């Protein structure tokens, strides 16, 4: 069996705080496009790879206790969510031509042994790449966080930070479909424009142009905030706390503002949790996997009815992956960051 070239994105060494492009390198190795007999494995061609902030955690040597994933291995290809097509298989459950969504390598071809976290993609009128975004982990994070943690009611006031990101854009649209008033924050005027004119947010603002975040929130939420979907932590969280309404809920989904700091900023306004009887809850989508089928049904339905859109930032070619990934941490991506490795 002939070997072909297999381009890979390799982790060169562990990262301290934020990743740089120089922490990764493109390497070309060889691979047989064949699943070894008796291995139970199968060989896939990777079509789309997802750049997700959580991957930074796997680039660090020391992991937080209870973290879901092990660190990456320096010298080997990164791993992440992707969309792939089966080329050859020694596993009766996966046949050549099957399209899969789930964990794969940051490389052109991967030999897959672990099948637990893979889903077969059924033919639907949805772009394939959406299976790592709208219909993948970020979309499901939005769905589970909004409905399970925030318990939204029609007419409530909802604030979403990093609102044009992979998660935030769906939170805002789900909130609008649920009958809420929704305001988003983002870090460029282009993103603010998308929030207001493409994603249907009631209002949006560029937090980098607000000298006083508390004043900005009071401007958009004169009645206060019922639900804060927090993707950033830090100053925005501290500003949101005094603006929460009684029985408000804060879904703690991410702390994008804190990732570049060696020590997280202090949050000073937690006493508002008591006086307003506010619930603040962290979560990972993994806890809610039993809701995944319902999520897919709902969101695919909304998408087909034209009630939901999804903005992707699509980079072409595996070579673009390190820069695309690094760009996540300075907000360079506009929408969900995806790498197109190969055409379908």
Token readout for 128 is 């394939």
Please name every residue paired with 251 in a beta bridge, in sequence order, or none if there are none: 229, 281
Cβ proximity to a copy of itself: between 48 and 288 the closer is: 288
What is the nearest approach in angstroms of a copy of itself to the Cβ of residue 234? 10
CA-to-CA distance for 100 and 291, rounded, in angstroms? 19
What is the nearest approach in angstroms of a copy of itself to the Cβ of residue 289? 13
CA-to-CA distance for 65 and 127, rounded, in angstroms? 36
What is the nearest approach in angstroms of a copy of itself to the Cβ of residue 242? 8
Cβ proximity to a copy of itself: between 127 and 233 the closer is: 233
What is the nearest approach in angstroms of a copy of itself to the Cβ of residue 103? 19
Q: Does residue 213 contact residue 187 with C-beta atoms inside 8 Å? A: no
Cβ proximity to a copy of itself: between 284 and 342 the closer is: 284
Cβ proximity to a copy of itself: between 276 and 332 the closer is: 276
Q: Does residue 330 contact residue 307 with C-beta atoms inside 8 Å? A: no
Contacts of 330 (CB under 8 A, 6+ apart): none
CA-to-CA distance for 226 and 153, rounded, in angstroms? 9
What is the nearest approach in angstroms of a copy of itself to the Cβ of residue 228? 13
Cβ proximity to a copy of itself: between 73 and 271 the closer is: 271
Which residues bind to a copy of itself, rule: CB under 8 A? 64-67, 233, 237, 242, 246, 252-255, 258, 263-284, 287
Token readout for 93 is 């459950």
Cβ proximity to a copy of itself: between 34 and 56 the closer is: 56
- Closest to 299 in 3D by CA, of 179, 172, 144, 143: 143
CA torsion through residues 307, 310, 311, 314, sign? negative
Q: How far apart are the first and last CA of the chain?
A: 24
What is the nearest approach in angstroms of a copy of itself to the Cβ of residue 87? 36
């Amino acid at each position: 069996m002939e070997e072909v070239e297999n381009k890979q994105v390799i982790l060169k060494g562990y990262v301290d705080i934020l990743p740089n492009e120089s922490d990764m390198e493109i390497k070309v190795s060889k691979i047989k496009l064949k699943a070894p007999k008796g291995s139970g494995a199968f060989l896939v061609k990777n079509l789309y790879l997802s750049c997700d902030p959580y991957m930074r955690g796997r680039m660090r040597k020391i992991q937080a206790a209870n973290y879901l994933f092990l660190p990456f291995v320096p010298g080997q290809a990164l791993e992440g969510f992707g969309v792939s097509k089966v080329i050859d298989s020694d596993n009766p459950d996966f046949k050549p031509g099957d399209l899969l969504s789930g964990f794969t390598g940051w490389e052109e071809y991967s030999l897959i042994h672990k099948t637990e976290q893979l889903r077969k993609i059924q033919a639907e009128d949805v772009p394939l790449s959406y299976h790592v975004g709208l219909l993948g982990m970020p979309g499901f994070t939005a769905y589970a966080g909004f409905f399970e943690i925030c318990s939204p009611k029609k007419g409530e006031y909802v604030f979403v930070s990093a609102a044009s990101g992979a998660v935030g854009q769906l939170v805002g649209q789900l909130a609008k479909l649920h009958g809420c008033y929704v305001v988003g924050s983002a870090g460029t005027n282009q993103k603010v424009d998308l929030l207001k004119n493409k994603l249907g947010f009631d209002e949006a603002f560029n937090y980098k142009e607000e000298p006083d975040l508390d004043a900005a929130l009071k401007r958009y939420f004169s009645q206060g905030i019922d639900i804060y979907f927090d993707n950033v932590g830090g100053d925005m969280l501290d500003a949101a706390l005094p603006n929460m309404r009684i029985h408000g809920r804060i879904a703690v989904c991410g702390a994008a503002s804190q990732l570049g700091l060696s020590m997280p900023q202090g949050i000073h306004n937690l006493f508002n949790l008591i006086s307003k009887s506010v619930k603040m809850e962290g979560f990972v989508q993994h806890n809610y996997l039993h809701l995944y089928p319902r999520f897919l049904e709902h969101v695919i339905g909304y998408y087909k009815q034209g009630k939901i859109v999804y903005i992707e930032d699509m980079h072409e070619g595996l070579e673009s992956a390190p820069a695309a990934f690094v760009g996540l941490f300075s907000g360079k991506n506009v929408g969900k960051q995806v790498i197109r490795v190969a055409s379908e």
